[in-house]
């Protein structure tokens, strides 16, 4: 069976994120099927890494939908088409799959929804909000099958009109090499709080800063580290808030880190905090738990599927940074609770592994092939 995959952003691009990593990890483990990923990269041409084969058909992500039309010959020679929706649906794969009578699977990581108004100017946010709703409505009518990365995403898709029987949940997993970073609460720095992940407006990292300001009133020696790829504007605003709050000695911003540095941060931390507005699933939060670090966050879509509340971490009322601070304090000040949650977190994370996710995709492809 030949599978053609449409993914606008290459795994090799610096701005590649969870959606691209998800595709790479799953496809690299798929066996007995010929797969090709059409994408965009700085240089056009073929790139192979083990079972993962991609072909950059354009250098510019913006022109990717147009470039797809020129490569329609690829669509004819493949049995199944998969679209990896990392940002917004491109719609062309849907049109071409219908014209060529090919089954189409779409992978939906998360629906942006109102987070767009946090990230973009109001007019652009409104246009993208409407486009996302309408395009997904169109997909709900014609798509063969949908892969959602979490139960929360599945629920949103059902509300948009996708038939439940056409949706499969295939969770992300974490890098198995993080297993070497695992450490119990007894081996961690008892007063270190970290965030490692995307630094974007919708992540609401200013809530973490406000929470640490409250925590410091009870624990003056608390330390917090914020790390990850992100927007310069968000970093500048965070530094300004930290300076105005007099928290320079408590909060350190270190920017983008390597896998090794991320591993070390998660190994050392006693608490991982994710104050995001919304998540598809949150691989970074799963990675923290794999390293034995309890999580504190808001009770939001995606995170409720990734964190077992009161077992591997604490989820509080969305948007209430004071509750966030209380949860951080509770874990930092209760060594017994911290140790118990640390052990639970490692056990919970072990139920998410890429081989299982890849097998679920292979089974789905085989099932659709038989139906065809």
SS3 label, residue 226: strand
Lowest mean pLDDT among 21-35, 50-64, 183-197: 183-197
Q: What is the pTM of this model?
A: 0.90
Which secondary-structure segment (H or E) carries 35?
A: strand 34-40
Q: Is the pLDDT of residue 183 over 70?
A: no
pLDDT digits (tens, 9 = 90+) for 143-176: 999 999 999 999 999 999 999 999 999 999 987 7
Which secondary-structure segment (H or E) carries 358?
A: helix 354-371
CB contact burial 90-121 (16+ within 10 A = b; e otherwise): bebbbebbeeeebbbbbbbbbbbeebbbebbe
pLDDT at res. 244: 92
The more confidently predicted of residues 76 and 278 is 278
- Integer angstrom CA distances of residue 284 from 97, 187, 198, 295: 34, 21, 9, 11
Q: How many CB atoms lie within 10 A of CB 147?
A: 24
Cβ partners under 8 Å of residue 218, min gap 6: 329, 333
- Integer angstrom CA distances of residue 204 from 210, 211, 232: 10, 11, 15
Q: What is the mean pLDDT of residues 278-304?
A: 93
pLDDT digits (tens, 9 = 90+) for 25-56: 999 998 877 899 999 999 999 999 988 999 99
Residues 252, 228 contacting (CB under 8 angstroms): no
What residues does 36 pair with on adjacent strands?
4
Residues 59, 67 contacting (CB under 8 angstroms): no
Q: Tokens 């970074």 label which residue?
A: 284
Q: Is the pLDDT of residue 210 over 80?
A: yes
Q: Is the pLDDT of residue 230 over 90?
A: no
The more confidently predicted of residues 133 and 175 is 133
77, with CB counted inside 10 A (0-12, 13-18, 19+), is exposed
pLDDT digits (tens, 9 = 90+) for 251-272: 999 988 988 888 889 988 999 9
Maximal CA-CA distance, the chain: 65
pLDDT digits (tens, 9 = 90+) for 7-20: 999 999 888 888 99
């Amino acid at each position: 069976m030949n599978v053609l995959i449409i993914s606008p952003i290459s795994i090799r691009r610096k701005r590649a994120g969870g959606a691209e990593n998800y595709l790479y990890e799953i496809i690299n483990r798929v066996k007995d099927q010929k797969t090709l990923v059409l994408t965009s990269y700085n240089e056009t041409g073929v790139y192979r890494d083990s079972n993962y084969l991609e072909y950059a058909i354009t250098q510019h992500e913006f022109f990717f939908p147009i470039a797809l039309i020129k490569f329609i010959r690829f669509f004819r020679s493949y049995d199944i088409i998969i679209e990896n929706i990392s940002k917004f649906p491109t719609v062309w794969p849907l049109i071409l799959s219908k014209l060529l009578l090919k089954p189409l699977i779409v992978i939906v990581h998360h629906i942006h929804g109102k987070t767009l108004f946090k990230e973009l100017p109001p007019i652009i946010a409104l246009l993208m909000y409407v486009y996302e709703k309408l395009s997904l409505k169109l997909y709900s009518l014609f798509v063969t099958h949908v892969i959602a990365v979490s139960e929360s995403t599945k629920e949103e898709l059902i509300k948009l009109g996708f038939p439940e029987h056409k949706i499969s949940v295939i969770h992300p997993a974490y890098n198995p090499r993080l297993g070497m970073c695992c450490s119990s609460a007894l081996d961690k720095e008892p007063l270190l709080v970290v965030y490692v992940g995307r630094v974007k407006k919708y992540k609401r990292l200013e809530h973490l800063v406000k929470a640490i300001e409250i925590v410091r009133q009870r624990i003056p020696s608390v330390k917090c580290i914020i790390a990850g790829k992100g927007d310069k504007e968000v970093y500048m605003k965070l530094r300004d808030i930290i300076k105005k709050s007099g928290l320079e000695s408590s909060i350190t911003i270190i920017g983008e880190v390597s896998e090794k540095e991320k591993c070390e941060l998660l190994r050392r931390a006693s608490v991982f905090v994710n104050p995001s507005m919304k998540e598809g699933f949150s691989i970074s939060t799963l990675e923290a738990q794999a390293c034995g670090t309890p999580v504190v966050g808001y009770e939001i879509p995606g995170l409720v599927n990734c964190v077992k509340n009161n077992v591997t971490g604490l989820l509080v009322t969305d948007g209430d940074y004071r509750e966030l601070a209380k949860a951080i304090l509770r874990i930092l000040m209760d060594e017994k609770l911290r140790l118990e949650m640390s052990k639970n977190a490692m056990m919970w994370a072990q139920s998410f592994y890429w081989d299982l996710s890849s097998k679920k995709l292979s089974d789905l492809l085989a099932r659709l092939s038989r139906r065809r």
